[in-house]
Every structure is written in C-alpha cells, then in structure tokens.
Amino acid sequence: DPGRGTSGIEKSIPVSGKGSCQAEPGDTGDEQDAVLEDYETIEGSEEIRGKKRKMNIQLMEFPRHMDEYGSLVPIEASDSVPFDIKRVYYIYGVEKGVRRGFHSHADLEQVLICVSGHVRILVKTPWEEQEIFLDDPQKGLYIGPMVWREMFDFSGDAVLLVLAGDHYKVEDYIRDYNKYEQIARQYFTENQ
Amino acid sequence: DPGRGTSGIEKSIPVSGKGSCQAEPGDTGDEQDAVLEDYETIEGSEEIRGKKRKMNIQLMEFPRHMDEYGSLVPIEASDSVPFDIKRVYYIYGVEKGVRRGFHSHADLEQVLICVSGHVRILVKTPWEEQEIFLDDPQKGLYIGPMVWREMFDFSGDAVLLVLAGDHYKVEDYIRDYNKYEQIARQYFTENQ
C-alpha cells in the first residue's frame, strides 16, 4: 500500500505538441514529460491554461495549511483552478476491481483530487495514454476537453473529489470510444 | 463508533424566530426544530434562503447516484447549494482531542460535508447552541452569516469538505467571541 506523497505518473507516452497556441522553441515531447513529472503549485489560471493547450492534462499541487490543528487545503475558483467552479461531485464506495468513467467531455474542464485513500486514473487521447496515481489531498489532476478517462484501483477508503467548470450537461459527454477518437482527431488537428 | 446515516442534531435549543423575512403564521420554535430534525433534499436555492433567515443554519441531504460502480454525490452551484461556489477547502489529519474553528463570518455562506469519517460541529448564536454530527457524504450543514462555529471529535479518517460562497477574505472573520456576540445581537435585531 503506497504511502502519501508518491502520487505521479506511472506510465507516460510523450505528447506530440498539440495545442491552439504556438509551440515554444525547444518545446519537445521530452520537455513536456518533465513538466508532468514535477508537480507544481499553480498560483494563477493563465499558466495552466497555456499548458493544457499542449496536452489537455496537468498535475497540480495545492498549498496546504498544516499545524497542530490538522491540515487545510484551500482552492479558490478561477485562481487555484483555471475555471469557475459550477459543479462539485465526489465518488466513494467503489469496490475492488471496479473500473468507471469511460467517457470524454467535449468542453468541460475538471480537476480531480483524491481527498481520502488512493485511486488510479487513465487519461487517453488518440496519441497518448497515461496512468496517474492519486493518493494525496494536495495533488490535483486537471483534465481539459477531449480527454478520455477511466478510474480504477480505488482503495476501500477512497474519496475522489471532482471540481468542474460547468453544470451537468448530458450532451457534453462522449461515451463511445470510437466516436471519441474520431471527434478528438478532428479537435486536436483543428487546434494544432 | 456510530454508523452511517445517523447524522443529525444531538442537542438543540429551539431558535426564537430571528430573520429578515416575516415569520409565517404558526411558525413556532417547535416547528423549526422539526424542520431541522428531518433532513430534506434541497432542490433549489430559494427554499433554503428562506429558511436560513430564521436560524442561519440548515441541514441538507444531497441526492446520491449509487450502483454497482459505487456512489456519486453531485452538487450544483447556486442550485444544490444557495450560492456560487467561489472557494472549496477540505480539512483532514485532525488529531483526537483537537477542537478548531472558533470564529464566525460576517457575510460568508458555507456548506460543510463530511466526505470521509465523522466530525461534530458546534453552531452557536447569542440565543441558541446546537451540536451537529456529520458522518455521511450525503449530508450537508449550511451555515449562513453570523454563526459561531467550532469543529471537534474528528475521526482519524475524517475529511471535512467545505464549499464557500466567496473567496478568502480575512476581514470577514470574527475570531473574538465577545466581539462576535455584540455584532451578532445587532445583526439579528436589525434583521428581525
């Protein structure tokens, strides 16, 4: 059972510079990998918005106020996360062996935080696939539009908190993987 | 160790109809007590806004999507809770015997949800004092402006999630109880 603070990417295939913004000089797949492997405290929304255009996911580290009274992690909408928080949900009571998710969103931005226990997240585009291990309330996984996600290996005590940039909209879900791949190829090509 | 679903008020002194809206006919302390003892699913924000004007706290029950893949509790800003969610924070790692909080807010509205483990919340005005036990991710405790709060009896696995209607503002905190009582008496008298 891995301890706290070991969250991170377990498998990673470098992203090939997709994005609506111009690639910076020397912006190679290797460099993006380095960004992903080092957690960073995101203080404003601009920085992450720039980054998500390249890969549409981003690992975040939130500050923590810790003293003899315990720990508190504050998240300010449109500052600690790069969107207004229109919806919050949490997933718990997931039994061993269960895998859930299996969808992408067309527009929605989300940040996933495992506030108790641990869980693994698979994020996938037509070109890359990464497995991310979340086991620390300070760590967040930003997932932008058009990323396929699956959640699995929930510990018995896992609580996965999700902050979302919009209200529930059934039409924003893409639940068929083949359809997702088709739309995603078009989306990333247009925004290249 | 009490099981799930037993959340509720443990001690309660009826509120004496404080509020900025007109008291409804037959709106006695006993009736308000009954409202507090029965959890309700709040579907819109209007209902709770009406209620908070009487007592400034409200127990809420959120819907839960539960199936063989686990449980999911969704909370829509300005709908499931009666405010925009500008800030989210969570408290964890609180050791046995620790009591924290000890403040009121002048304007801030919050909803407290214990998403893992259990915790007790003391809410207090110059006229009433209640102890609320939270041990269920579906239960929320709405706390409006000018309510003194203390949090204690955190279980080792407790994670207290708080949704707040505004960003962190140091000037909104009232940390001295005597000063709080003075301001609260004025606040509730003016809004009676």
Please identify which residue in the block is written with the tokens 């007790």.
B120
Distance CA B146, CA B128 (A): 12
DSSP for chain B reads ---TT--EEEEE-------SSPPPTT--HHHHHHHHHS-----SHHHHHHHHHHHSEEEEE---EEETTEEEEEEETTTTSSS-B-EEEEEE-PPTT--EEEEEESS--EEEEEEES-EEEEEE-SS-EEEEEE--TTEEEEE-TT-EEEEE---TT-EEEEEESS---GGGEE--HHHHHHHHHHHHHHT-
Q: Which residues of B touch A173 (CB under 8 A)?
A: none
ipTM above 0.95, yes or no: no
Q: Which residues of A touch B98 (CB under 8 A)?
A: 68-70
User: B84-124, pLDDT tens digit by residue?
Assistant: 999 999 999 999 999 999 999 999 999 999 999 999 999 99
Q: Which residues of B touch A69 (CB under 8 A)?
A: 94, 98, 100
Count A/B contacts: CB-CB distance under 8 Å. Answer: 118
| pLDDT tens, chain A, 192 aa long | 333 444 555 544 433 333 322 333 333 333 333 333 333 333 334 444 443 344 589 999 999 999 999 999 999 999 999 999 999 999 999 999 999 999 999 999 999 999 999 999 999 999 889 999 999 999 999 999 999 999 999 999 999 999 999 999 999 999 999 999 999 999 888 775
Query: Which of A43, A62, A75, A76 is most worth mutating to test chain B (most B CB atoms within 10 A of its CB)?
Result: A76
Annotated active-site residue in B103, B105, B118, B167: B103
Closest-CA residue of B relative to A152 is B69
Q: Nearest CB to B87: which of A69, A71, A75?
A: A75
Distance CA A52, CA A45 (A): 11
pTM beyond 0.80, yes or no: no
User: A34-81, pLDDT tens digit by residue?
Assistant: 333 333 333 334 444 443 344 589 999 999 999 999 999 999 999 999
Whether B118 sits among the annotated catalytic residues: the reply is: no
The encoded tokens of residue B81 equal 């809770």
Mean pLDDT of chain A: 79
Q: Do B167 and A76 touch (CB under 8 A)?
A: yes
The residues near A13 (Cβ < 8 Å, ≥ 6 apart) are A127, A128, A129, A130
Closest-CA residue of A relative to B164 is A76
